[in-house]
Amino acid sequence: MSNPRYKRLLLKLSGEVLMGSGQFGIDPETVSRVAEEVKQAKDAGYELCLVIGGGNIFRGIAGAARGLDRTTGDYMGMLATIMNALAMQNALEKLGVETRVQSAIPMDTVCEPYIRRRAVRHLEKGRIVIFAAGTGNPFFTTDSGAALRAAEMNCDALFKGTSVDGIYDADPKKVPDANRFDTVSYDTVLAENLKVMDASAVALCRENNIPIIVFNIREQGNLAHVLRGDGVATTVRSA
Protein backbone atom coordinates (compact mmCIF):
# COMPACT_ATOMS: atom_id res chain seq x y z
CA MET A 1 0.00 0.00 0.00
CA SER A 2 1.33 3.46 -0.91
CA ASN A 3 2.48 5.79 1.82
CA PRO A 4 -0.45 8.25 2.23
CA ARG A 5 1.83 11.00 3.53
CA TYR A 6 3.47 11.50 0.15
CA LYS A 7 2.12 12.07 -3.33
CA ARG A 8 4.78 13.99 -5.24
CA LEU A 9 8.34 12.84 -4.69
CA LEU A 10 11.79 13.80 -5.86
CA LEU A 11 14.15 10.83 -6.14
CA LYS A 12 17.83 11.76 -5.95
CA LEU A 13 20.20 9.08 -7.20
CA SER A 14 23.96 9.18 -6.92
CA GLY A 15 25.67 8.73 -10.25
CA GLU A 16 27.74 5.88 -8.81
CA VAL A 17 24.57 3.78 -8.56
CA LEU A 18 24.42 3.61 -12.37
CA MET A 19 27.88 2.01 -12.54
CA GLY A 20 26.52 -1.25 -11.17
CA SER A 21 29.48 -3.43 -10.28
CA GLY A 22 31.79 -1.46 -12.56
CA GLN A 23 34.29 1.23 -11.68
CA PHE A 24 33.22 3.85 -14.19
CA GLY A 25 30.49 4.82 -16.62
CA ILE A 26 26.95 3.54 -17.11
CA ASP A 27 25.88 -0.09 -16.74
CA PRO A 28 22.78 -0.63 -18.93
CA GLU A 29 21.47 -3.51 -16.80
CA THR A 30 21.63 -1.43 -13.62
CA VAL A 31 19.93 1.51 -15.31
CA SER A 32 17.15 -0.80 -16.52
CA ARG A 33 16.70 -2.27 -13.03
CA VAL A 34 16.44 1.17 -11.42
CA ALA A 35 14.07 2.32 -14.17
CA GLU A 36 11.81 -0.67 -13.44
CA GLU A 37 11.66 0.32 -9.76
CA VAL A 38 10.85 3.92 -10.70
CA LYS A 39 8.07 2.66 -12.99
CA GLN A 40 6.64 0.56 -10.16
CA ALA A 41 6.55 3.65 -7.93
CA LYS A 42 4.76 5.59 -10.65
CA ASP A 43 2.28 2.74 -11.14
CA ALA A 44 1.62 2.85 -7.38
CA GLY A 45 0.26 6.38 -7.84
CA TYR A 46 3.20 8.63 -7.05
CA GLU A 47 4.15 11.70 -9.06
CA LEU A 48 7.89 11.42 -9.60
CA CYS A 49 10.76 13.64 -10.60
CA LEU A 50 14.41 12.61 -10.55
CA VAL A 51 17.84 14.15 -10.12
CA ILE A 52 20.88 11.98 -10.93
CA GLY A 53 24.43 12.87 -9.97
CA GLY A 54 27.36 12.57 -12.36
CA GLY A 55 30.03 10.97 -10.19
CA ASN A 56 30.14 7.81 -12.29
CA ILE A 57 31.50 9.91 -15.18
CA PHE A 58 33.11 13.05 -13.75
CA ARG A 59 33.27 14.98 -10.49
CA GLY A 60 34.13 18.67 -10.70
CA ILE A 61 35.62 18.80 -7.23
CA ALA A 62 37.84 15.79 -8.00
CA GLY A 63 39.01 17.48 -11.18
CA ALA A 64 39.81 20.63 -9.20
CA ALA A 65 41.90 18.57 -6.79
CA ARG A 66 44.00 17.46 -9.76
CA GLY A 67 44.59 21.01 -10.93
CA LEU A 68 41.56 21.64 -13.14
CA ASP A 69 39.83 24.98 -12.67
CA ARG A 70 36.90 24.35 -10.30
CA THR A 71 34.37 26.24 -12.41
CA THR A 72 35.35 24.31 -15.53
CA GLY A 73 35.27 21.04 -13.61
CA ASP A 74 31.80 21.74 -12.27
CA TYR A 75 30.46 22.47 -15.75
CA MET A 76 31.97 19.19 -16.95
CA GLY A 77 30.21 17.46 -14.07
CA MET A 78 26.91 19.04 -15.14
CA LEU A 79 27.36 17.55 -18.60
CA ALA A 80 27.86 14.16 -16.96
CA THR A 81 24.48 14.49 -15.22
CA ILE A 82 22.84 15.15 -18.58
CA MET A 83 24.34 11.93 -19.96
CA ASN A 84 22.95 10.00 -16.99
CA ALA A 85 19.55 11.66 -17.36
CA LEU A 86 19.35 10.68 -21.03
CA ALA A 87 20.29 7.08 -20.16
CA MET A 88 17.55 6.91 -17.55
CA GLN A 89 15.03 8.52 -19.90
CA ASN A 90 15.82 5.90 -22.53
CA ALA A 91 15.39 3.06 -20.02
CA LEU A 92 12.08 4.44 -18.73
CA GLU A 93 10.64 4.99 -22.20
CA LYS A 94 11.55 1.41 -23.15
CA LEU A 95 9.19 0.45 -20.30
CA GLY A 96 6.46 2.66 -21.74
CA VAL A 97 6.86 5.49 -19.22
CA GLU A 98 6.58 9.00 -20.65
CA THR A 99 9.64 10.91 -19.50
CA ARG A 100 11.04 14.39 -20.02
CA VAL A 101 14.57 15.61 -19.34
CA GLN A 102 14.93 19.26 -18.38
CA SER A 103 18.39 20.77 -18.19
CA ALA A 104 19.46 23.85 -16.22
CA ILE A 105 21.97 24.40 -19.05
CA PRO A 106 20.10 25.02 -22.34
CA MET A 107 20.70 22.11 -24.70
CA ASP A 108 17.69 22.26 -26.98
CA THR A 109 18.74 19.55 -29.42
CA VAL A 110 18.76 16.82 -26.74
CA CYS A 111 16.36 17.92 -23.98
CA GLU A 112 14.08 20.67 -22.73
CA PRO A 113 15.33 23.72 -20.88
CA TYR A 114 14.27 23.87 -17.24
CA ILE A 115 10.97 25.75 -17.05
CA ARG A 116 9.16 25.32 -13.76
CA ARG A 117 5.59 25.63 -15.05
CA ARG A 118 6.27 23.18 -17.86
CA ALA A 119 7.81 20.70 -15.39
CA VAL A 120 4.78 20.94 -13.11
CA ARG A 121 2.48 20.37 -16.07
CA HIS A 122 4.45 17.26 -17.06
CA LEU A 123 4.01 15.87 -13.55
CA GLU A 124 0.30 16.63 -13.60
CA LYS A 125 0.02 14.70 -16.87
CA GLY A 126 1.64 11.67 -15.30
CA ARG A 127 5.06 12.03 -16.88
CA ILE A 128 8.33 11.56 -15.04
CA VAL A 129 10.63 14.57 -15.16
CA ILE A 130 14.40 14.19 -14.85
CA PHE A 131 16.18 17.39 -13.87
CA ALA A 132 19.74 17.56 -15.19
CA ALA A 133 22.75 19.88 -14.85
CA GLY A 134 22.15 20.62 -11.17
CA THR A 135 21.31 24.24 -10.53
CA GLY A 136 23.18 25.30 -13.66
CA ASN A 137 25.80 27.01 -11.52
CA PRO A 138 29.29 25.92 -10.43
CA PHE A 139 30.08 25.38 -6.73
CA PHE A 140 26.67 23.76 -6.14
CA THR A 141 26.25 20.00 -5.89
CA THR A 142 23.48 17.91 -7.39
CA ASP A 143 22.21 17.50 -3.80
CA SER A 144 21.57 21.25 -3.75
CA GLY A 145 19.97 20.96 -7.17
CA ALA A 146 17.71 18.18 -5.90
CA ALA A 147 16.65 20.18 -2.84
CA LEU A 148 15.97 23.24 -5.01
CA ARG A 149 13.85 21.30 -7.52
CA ALA A 150 11.99 19.52 -4.70
CA ALA A 151 11.05 22.92 -3.28
CA GLU A 152 10.09 24.35 -6.66
CA MET A 153 7.94 21.33 -7.53
CA ASN A 154 6.24 21.40 -4.11
CA CYS A 155 7.36 17.84 -3.45
CA ASP A 156 6.16 16.11 -0.30
CA ALA A 157 9.54 14.43 0.28
CA LEU A 158 13.02 13.99 -1.13
CA PHE A 159 14.16 10.36 -1.36
CA LYS A 160 17.92 9.92 -1.64
CA GLY A 161 19.02 6.57 -3.03
CA THR A 162 22.61 5.77 -2.08
CA SER A 163 24.88 2.80 -1.37
CA VAL A 164 24.06 2.69 2.37
CA ASP A 165 20.79 2.01 4.16
CA GLY A 166 20.53 5.31 6.02
CA ILE A 167 22.47 7.82 8.09
CA TYR A 168 24.97 6.66 10.68
CA ASP A 169 26.82 8.44 13.47
CA ALA A 170 30.07 7.31 11.79
CA ASP A 171 31.10 5.85 8.46
CA PRO A 172 29.73 2.26 8.61
CA LYS A 173 32.37 1.13 6.11
CA LYS A 174 35.10 2.18 8.52
CA VAL A 175 33.36 1.76 11.89
CA PRO A 176 31.59 -1.64 12.08
CA ASP A 177 29.58 -0.75 15.19
CA ALA A 178 28.34 2.62 13.91
CA ASN A 179 24.74 3.36 14.90
CA ARG A 180 22.07 4.00 12.28
CA PHE A 181 19.40 6.63 12.90
CA ASP A 182 15.76 5.82 12.16
CA THR A 183 14.96 9.53 12.33
CA VAL A 184 17.17 12.53 12.84
CA SER A 185 16.55 16.27 12.78
CA TYR A 186 17.86 18.69 10.18
CA ASP A 187 19.66 20.57 12.96
CA THR A 188 21.46 17.44 14.14
CA VAL A 189 22.59 16.60 10.60
CA LEU A 190 24.00 20.10 10.22
CA ALA A 191 25.47 20.44 13.71
CA GLU A 192 27.18 17.04 13.64
CA ASN A 193 28.16 17.28 9.98
CA LEU A 194 26.68 13.86 9.19
CA LYS A 195 27.34 14.34 5.49
CA VAL A 196 24.20 12.75 4.13
CA MET A 197 23.88 15.77 1.83
CA ASP A 198 25.74 19.02 1.62
CA ALA A 199 24.75 21.64 4.18
CA SER A 200 23.01 23.98 1.75
CA ALA A 201 20.74 21.15 0.55
CA VAL A 202 19.79 20.15 4.10
CA ALA A 203 19.15 23.77 5.05
CA LEU A 204 16.93 24.30 2.02
CA CYS A 205 14.88 21.21 2.87
CA ARG A 206 14.59 22.42 6.46
CA GLU A 207 13.36 25.83 5.37
CA ASN A 208 10.69 24.24 3.19
CA ASN A 209 9.86 21.39 5.60
CA ILE A 210 10.71 18.70 3.03
CA PRO A 211 11.58 15.36 4.70
CA ILE A 212 14.73 13.64 3.39
CA ILE A 213 14.54 9.83 3.29
CA VAL A 214 17.91 8.12 2.84
CA PHE A 215 17.92 4.47 1.71
CA ASN A 216 19.95 1.91 -0.21
CA ILE A 217 18.91 1.95 -3.87
CA ARG A 218 21.41 -0.79 -4.75
CA GLU A 219 19.24 -3.37 -2.97
CA GLN A 220 16.77 -4.60 -5.56
CA GLY A 221 13.15 -3.75 -4.74
CA ASN A 222 14.10 -1.52 -1.84
CA LEU A 223 12.47 1.62 -3.25
CA ALA A 224 9.05 -0.04 -3.08
CA HIS A 225 9.67 -1.19 0.49
CA VAL A 226 10.72 2.28 1.61
CA LEU A 227 7.73 3.89 -0.09
CA ARG A 228 5.44 1.47 1.73
CA GLY A 229 7.13 2.37 4.99
CA ASP A 230 8.49 -1.10 5.73
CA GLY A 231 12.01 -0.68 4.33
CA VAL A 232 15.20 0.28 6.15
CA ALA A 233 15.86 4.01 5.84
CA THR A 234 16.61 7.16 7.79
CA THR A 235 14.21 10.10 7.75
CA VAL A 236 15.53 13.62 8.26
CA ARG A 237 12.82 15.97 9.48
CA SER A 238 12.07 18.68 12.03
CA ALA A 239 12.73 17.77 15.66
CATH number at residue 91: 3.40.1160.10
Integer Cα distance of 206 and 204 in angstroms: 5
Q: Residue 100 falls within a domain, yes or no? A: yes
- pLDDT for residue 1: 41
Q: Residue 180 falls within a domain, yes or no? A: yes
* Chain centroid, CA 211 distance in Å: 13
Q: Residue 210 falls within a domain, yes or no? A: yes
Query: E strands, the chain, where?
Result: 8-13, 47-52, 99-103, 112-113, 128-132, 157-162, 167-168, 180-181, 183-185, 212-216, 233-237
- pLDDT for residue 3: 57
Give the dihedral sign, CA 89/197/188/231.
positive
- pLDDT for residue 34: 97
Integer Cα distance of 158 and 213 in angstroms: 6
Look over the chain and give the mean of its residue pLDDT values, rounded to a whole number.
Answer: 93
Q: Residue 2 falls within a domain, yes or no? A: no
DSSP SS3 for 159: strand
Residues of the chain with pLDDT under 70: 1-4, 60-65
Q: How many residues does the chain have?
A: 239
Q: Residue 42 falls within a domain, yes or no? A: yes
Domain that holds residue 100: 8-237
Q: How many domains does the chain have?
A: 1
Bridge partner residues of 69 (DSSP)? none
Q: Residue 44 falls within a domain, yes or no? A: yes
Q: Residue 224 falls within a domain, yes or no? A: yes
Q: Residue 1 falls within a domain, yes or no? A: no
